[in-house]
Chains A and B, each alone.
Chain A
Amino acid sequence: MAATLAAGVLAASHGAAQLPPPETTVTTMVFDPGASQRFAIPDCVPRRADEKSREACRTVTQVLRADLRFEGLFRFVPDELMAAIKTLDPERPDFTDWRGIGTSHLVVTQAQVNGKDLQVDAKVYFPETGQTMLSRRFSGSADNPRSFAHQVADEITALTQYRGVARTKIAFVSDRDEGARGRRSKELYVMDYDGFNPRRVTVNRSLNILPAWSPDGRGLAYVSYRQGQPDIFVASIFEGRSANLTNGRGQSFAPSWSPDGKRVAYSSNRGGNMDIWVASADGSGGRRLTDSPGLDTAPIWSPTGQEIAFTSDRGGTPQIYVMDSEGLNVRRLTTVGNWNDAPSWNPSKQYSEIAYTSRIEGGFEIAVVDLASRQVRQVTLGRGSCEYPSWAPSGRHLVFACGRGRTWQVAVADRLGQSVRMLTGGSGKNEQPDWGP
């Protein structure tokens, strides 16, 4: 594992007391899969000896380890070797010990609670040389210690060439607030990428479905029946406002933002038949992009904004098609299976692939098609039914929904379908997730 050292390399001599002052050193760690990098994340050390600080430390430790494991980029020193190191001086770690158990990167955290405030310090050391690769102090409300750990995790991941997702959010649809009588209702929720802190966004007791994050993460487009017919609304989630984009011009579904945030593609029967339309982000200038006698729906933009993938049954059964963003050059993408729907385009430059829902042997599964080779891989394996994939902004994970009958849960997996984990629980339907920026 190669580390490009910034100017001012400080050599650490054996057991030397002199430590370099904490500095914000941005160092690029280039990851070579064959090389040996091993992270050690010892328990957070409380700066104060009270229970609140200890509790905050426990949370920081647990969440930070979970976040970095989730990224799938790092290897870790085994727990049994970690146990061999009895004490850690967070201000002056003994790098000999850590080198001795094969640590390439040592993550040291400290926390203290002062009244309503929490302060977390995080440092990353390179025991080989004793260099400090990262030194940060975070201060804020003690209400949510998890968010501090997520911040630290993303900063550590940022030292690599990869983008971390610890601070991202997932929007989804849930019927958990449905009343016992009256019409079925579904509301929008937002939760942390790890399933914690679900918060309700819509409160109108009607059907609210198909959320889509705006690229700046401040807006959620969605479909609501609250004015009687399905219209596309955009919620400004930090301001608690919603605007109606389509205003009863036909029935509208499946909003999708262009990567520059300036346009919204959606499906509408405003022209008589369900087609793909595109409008400006304020709803003005709506125009029709497709005009086939089939049903066209579920549009999704490519990462460059030059193309749109969508579902169409113009060939007889629902399949994934791709066209350019003006509606020209329509070509079919999926050739396997007789029901393919809900395309999601991997946003990372590293991959060129589209995830979608595919009917396989009578049930629905998440599949991914490589755009160059057209090879298809199956990501989920027969958990009832799974549908509605959405890529993490890193392109390395997928969120989707799996269920049977009345009980559906939101789940995540890596892009190869490994490490599947449920993010929601309980009875009822939790579905239609969208992974935020």
Chain B
Amino acid sequence: MNKTWSWLAVPLLVVSVAGCGGKKRPPVVAVDPTTTTTSDRGTPSQAPLPVETGPDVQPIDSDVARGEDFTVSDPETGEGGPIEDIHFEYDQATLTDQARAILDRHSAWLKAHPTAKVMVEGHCDERGTVEYNLALGDRRARAARDYLASVGVSGEMLRTTSYGKERPLDTASTEAAWARNRRAHFTVSR
């Protein structure tokens, strides 16, 4: 029984493959307008067929994603999010080696998620003065942004702001809290 079936199947397959011609094409009606002519009797032998003069293919939606979907920062608090903080030494806005390594990882993430929008926030710990810390936070945010731009992240993705010491992550008065607060934070949204 098997033998019979397989023997019959092969020619059918061959036939069907041969007739297929490979890619499926949408139906097209192409009519050479010159064939619609009046007959020798002087009247059109049939009504003219519709003419398509556009392209012979039309685009279909690409269902291939341009990038993976991503988590965003908490819309209420701005905290959290897919890319971590970098930290600074006291009263400094220069990037440490560790910060640069983290930013290199961020640049890879950002290039892989080109639809993400990022606000780079500069923050300071409480041990400075209000106004100078707002300026220092701005310098920190711009340092992070400038580094990311220098390694190829599109400037359109990045904006900066400063909170100085006005919006600390950790309100304790300890060395550990201060270290957490001296940061550039990346608030990610879509």
Binding site for B on A (CB under 8 A): 181-184, 186, 207, 209-210, 225, 228-230, 251, 253-254, 267, 269, 274, 295-298, 311, 313, 318, 339, 341-342, 357, 364, 387-388, 404-406, 431-432
Contact = CB atoms under 8 A, between A and B. Distances in A.
Contacts of B159: 229
Closest 3 CB pairs of A and B: A295-B135, A341-B129, A405-B173
B162 interface: yes
A209 B130 contact: yes
B142 A269 contact: yes
Nearest to A267: B135
Interface stretch (B21-29, B34-42, B47-55, B163-171): B163-171
Interface in B121-171: 126, 128-132, 134-136, 138-139, 142, 159-163, 166-168, 171
Contact of B76 (A181, A318, A406): A181
Contacts of A297: 131-132, 134-135
B80 interface: no
Given A181-B76, A387-B129, A253 B135 contact: yes
Contact of B129 (A182, A184, A253, A339): A339
Contacts of B173: 404-406
Given A230-B161, A251-B161, A405-B173, A183 B167 contact: yes
A253 B133 CA distance: 11
Label chain A's interface by main secondary structure: strand
B172 interface: yes
Nearest to A362: B127
B47 to A, nearest CB: 63
B81 interface: no
Contact of B131 (A225, A228, A341): A341
B155 to A, nearest CB: 13
B77 interface: yes
A251 B162 CA distance: 8
Contact of A405 (B139, B160, B161, B172): B172
Contacts of A405: 126, 171-173
Contacts of B162: 230, 251
B174 to A, nearest CB: 10
A298 B171 CA distance: 25
A253 B163 contact: no
Contacts of B171: 405-406
Given A182-B76, A269-B142, A404-B173, A229 B130 contact: no
Contact of B135 (A210, A228, A274): A274
B139 A274 contact: yes
Contacts of A357: 129
Interface string B61-101: 00000000000000011100000000000000000000000
B163 A207 contact: yes
Contacts of A254: 131, 134
A131 B162 CA distance: 62
Given A251-B162, A267-B135, A405-B173, A183 B77 contact: yes
A175 B71 CA distance: 30
10 contacts: A182-B76, A182-B77, A210-B130, A229-B161, A253-B134, A296-B135, A339-B128, A341-B132, A342-B132, A405-B172
A292 to B, nearest CB: 12
B166 A295 contact: no
A333 to B, nearest CB: 15
Contacts of B126: 405
A434 to B, nearest CB: 12
Contacts of A253: 131, 134-135
B136 A295 contact: yes
Given A230-B161, A230-B162, A405-B172, A210 B131 contact: yes
A311 B161 CA distance: 20
Contacts of B76: 181-183
Contacts of A313: 132
Contacts of B172: 405
A431 B133 CA distance: 15
B132 A298 contact: yes
B42 to A, nearest CB: 75
A431 B131 contact: no
A311 B132 contact: yes
A339 B130 CA distance: 12
A318 B76 CA distance: 34
A253 B139 CA distance: 14
Given A229-B159, A405-B173, 6 more contacts: A184-B166, A230-B161, A251-B162, A339-B129, A388-B130, A405-B171
Contacts of A207: 163, 166-167
A298 B76 CA distance: 30
Contacts of A186: 166
B130 A295 contact: no
Contacts of B160: 251
Nearest to B122: A251
Nearest to A269: B138
Given A182-B76, A207-B163, A269-B142, A431 B130 contact: yes
Tell me which of A254, A318, A364 has the highest count of chain B C-beta atoms within 10 A of its own C-beta: A318
Contact of A295 (B129, B132, B163, B168): B132
Contacts of B138: 251, 269, 274, 295
B161 A364 contact: no
Given A184-B167, A269-B142, A405-B173, A364 B129 contact: yes
